[in-house]
């Protein structure tokens, strides 16, 4: 197909009768830059999950990917997607790191085999791929698990491997509300400061902020500070440091290697009265790169409205 400058086109129901799949978008003529994305819509309530594109070149030579988080908390669970568009069979080794696991290093390990061109979509991955298969460290009872997922191949590199997750909750009527996000290759995470915008705290919305120490360099912890800005006033209103974190977030700014931490209600807890804002996350010590993201949930407090989330990736 041909698109002129500034034109947009959407292919509705692009898979037609296929149960799952992936697409390659290739520019075959002209030189203008382009952008592409996908949307997964729930059949019951039409909720949409935005699927970010992945450039093939960004995967070349990578040895490990970090998926920011998978969860099994309250009504939320994560669906894991792993695709292999290379021409080689690859076995993926996964390390799930979370405080609620019972192993000494708080890690549960499992693996997946992917034939060339194949994609696996695993609903409720903590339960179906770990608990039911007896993976060491996973508690028998559901709930209370959240942490980053690290993937590597048994041999070779991660070229051609795309990993993502959709974390969702039930709408109570047979549908799901969810957000989709991709894993990040080693070397592509952040090392200095990043910005996360579009955060809200009002009767209709609440916002969370999460950090991951990727542990890709060594086992050292990283220390962070978070500057919170009031978007309406255009002013810095609070800097969150180790000195002013609350008991529930103690240690949240000092992250051990391969650990994840989420600040629930970041605006309501640390910038009360700020209805919309943005933050700057600064790594002030440590050797490891990090990931950061926000989630804007429907409902001013947990349990209100639908709880549907929008994933907000950090930007340099």
Mark whether 181 and 202 lie in a shared domain.
no
Residue 310 and residue 166 in contact, taking contact as beta carbons nearer than 8 Å? no
Tell which of 157, 185, 213 closes a domain.
185
Mark whether 93 and 72 lie in a shared domain.
yes
Mark whether 77 and 50 lie in a shared domain.
yes
- Whether 11 is in a domain gets the answer no
- Rounded Cα distance between 258 and 148, Å, is 7
Mark whether 117 and 43 lie in a shared domain.
yes
Mark whether 168 and 197 lie in a shared domain.
no
- Whether 100 is in a domain gets the answer yes
At residue 242, the pLDDT reads 87
- Whether 74 is in a domain gets the answer yes
> Per-residue confidence at 251, pLDDT binned at 50, 70, 90?
confident
Residue 102: domain span: 38-185
Mark whether 81 and 133 lie in a shared domain.
yes
Per DSSP, the chain holds a count of helices (H) and strands (E) of: 2, 20
Mark whether 63 and 46 lie in a shared domain.
yes
- Whether 20 is in a domain gets the answer no
- Whether 9 is in a domain gets the answer no
Asked whether residue 123 carries a pLDDT value surpassing 80, the answer given is yes
At residue 4, the pLDDT reads 87
- Rounded Cα distance between 306 and 297, Å, is 8
The domain tally of the chain equals: 2
- Whether 3 is in a domain gets the answer no
Mark whether 176 and 86 lie in a shared domain.
yes
Tell which of 119, 150, 185 closes a domain.
185
Tell me the pTM.
0.95
Q: What is the DSSP letter of 300?
A: S
At residue 31, the pLDDT reads 84
Mark whether 153 and 244 lie in a shared domain.
no
Asked whether residue 65 carries a pLDDT value surpassing 80, the answer given is yes
Question: 213: closest CA among 238, 184, 234?
Answer: 184
At residue 172, the pLDDT reads 87
- Whether 120 is in a domain gets the answer yes
Mark whether 180 and 42 lie in a shared domain.
yes
Mark whether 155 and 178 lie in a shared domain.
yes
Mark whether 44 and 149 lie in a shared domain.
yes
Complete DSSP assignment for 23-46: ------S--------EEEE-TTT-
pLDDT digits (tens, 9 = 90+) for 192-219: 999 999 999 999 999 999 999 999 999 9
CATH number of the CATH domain containing 215: 2.60.290
Residue 39 and residue 51 in contact, taking contact as beta carbons nearer than 8 Å? yes
Residue 165 and residue 49 in contact, taking contact as beta carbons nearer than 8 Å? no
At residue 244, the pLDDT reads 84
- Whether 18 is in a domain gets the answer no
CATH number of the CATH domain containing 130: 2.60.290.11
At residue 97, the pLDDT reads 98
SS3 163: strand
Tell which of 148, 163, 185 closes a domain.
185
Query: What average pLDDT score do residues 246-261 get?
Result: 88
């Amino acid at each position: 197909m041909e698109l002129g400058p500034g034109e947009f086109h959407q292919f509705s129901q692009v898979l037609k009768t296929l149960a799952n799949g992936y697409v390659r978008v290739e520019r075959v003529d002209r030189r203008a830059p382009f952008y592409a994305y996908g949307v997964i819509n729930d059949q019951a309530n039409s909720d949409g999950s935005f699927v970010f594109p992945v450039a093939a070149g960004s995967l070349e030579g990578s040895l490990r990917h970090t998926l920011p988080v998978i969860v099994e908390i309250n009504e939320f669970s994560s669906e894991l997607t792993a695709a292999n568009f290379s021409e080689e069979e690859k076995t993926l080794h996964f390390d799930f790191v979370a405080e609620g696991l019972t192993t000494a290093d708080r890690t549960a390990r499992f693996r997946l085999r992917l034939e060339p061109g194949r994609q696996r979509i695993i609903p409720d991955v903590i339960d179906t791929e770990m608990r039911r298969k007896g993976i060491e460290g996973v508690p028998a009872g559901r709930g209370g698990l959240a942490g980053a997922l690290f993937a590597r191949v048994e041999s070779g590199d991660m070229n051609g491997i795309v990993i993502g997750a959709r974390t969702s909750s039930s709408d109570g009527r047979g549908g799901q509300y969810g957000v989709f996000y991709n894993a990040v290759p080693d070397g592509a995470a952040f090392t200095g400061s990043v910005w996360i915008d579009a955060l809200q705290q009002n009767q209709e919305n609440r916002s969370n902020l999460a950090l991951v120490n990727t542990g890709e360099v060594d086992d050292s912890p990283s220390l962070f500070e978070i500057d919170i800005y009031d978007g309406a006033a255009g002013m810095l209103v609070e800097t969150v440091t180790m000195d002013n974190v609350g008991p529930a977030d103690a240690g949240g700014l000092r992250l051990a290697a391969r650990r994840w931490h989420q600040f629930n209600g970041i605006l309501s807890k640390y910038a009360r009265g700020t209805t919309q804002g943005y933050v700057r996350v600064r790594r002030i010590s440590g050797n490891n790169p990090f990931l950061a993201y926000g989630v804007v949930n429907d409902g001013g407090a947990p349990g209100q409205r639908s709880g549907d989330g929008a994933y907000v990736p950090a930007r340099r």
